[in-house]
Amino acid sequence: MHSRKQAPIIKSKTAITVWHIPAIITIAVIGWAAYIFMCDALSVKYVQLIAFGFAALLFCLAAYMLQMLFAPDVLLVYSNRLVVRSGLGYIKKTILFDDLVGYAEKHKEGIGGKYSQLILFTLKTSYLFYSYQYSNYKLIRAELATHAVGKQDLLGRLHKQSKIYKIAGLTLALAAVLYLAYYSHSHLSNNVYIAPNDLTIIGDQVVNEPAISGSKTSKSIHINLNGYPQFEFTLNDSYGATAAKKYVNNVVVGDSIWVGVSTTEYRQKITEDMPLLFWEKHCNYKFISVYSLRDTSRQYLTLAKYNSYRQQHPPFSIAWVLLLVAAVIVVTIVQDAKEYMRY
Residue percentage of the chain with pLDDT more than 70: 94
Higher pLDDT, 268 or 313: 268
Give the chain's radius of gyration (CA, Å): 29
Q: What is the pLDDT of residues 122-169, one digit of tens each?
A: 888 889 899 988 999 999 999 999 998 888 877 777 777 778 888 898
Bridge partner list, 108: 115
Treating both helix axes as pointing N-terminal to C-terminal, what angle do 20-41 and 49-70 enclose, rounded to 10 degrees?
Answer: 160
> Which stretch of 29-33, 179-183, 244-248 has the lowest confidence by average pLDDT?
179-183
Q: Parse the chain into domains and list their residue ranges.
A: 2-147, 151-180+317-343, 196-315
Q: What is the dihedral of CA 248, 252, 255, 257, to 10 degrees?
A: 20
C-beta atoms surrounding 35 within 10 Å: 13
Residue 1's pLDDT is what? 44
The CATH architecture that domain 2-147 belongs to is: Roll (2.30)
* b (16+ CB within 10 A) / e for 294-319: bbeeeebbbbebbbebbeeeeeeeeb
Mean pLDDT of the chain: 88
The band of 53, judged by pLDDT with boundaries at 50, 70 and 90, is very high
Handedness of CA 301, 302, 303, 306 (dihedral sign): negative
The band of 284, judged by pLDDT with boundaries at 50, 70 and 90, is confident
Class of domain 196-315: mainly beta
Q: What is the DSSP letter of 73?
A: P
Query: Is the entire prediction scored with pTM above 0.85?
Result: no
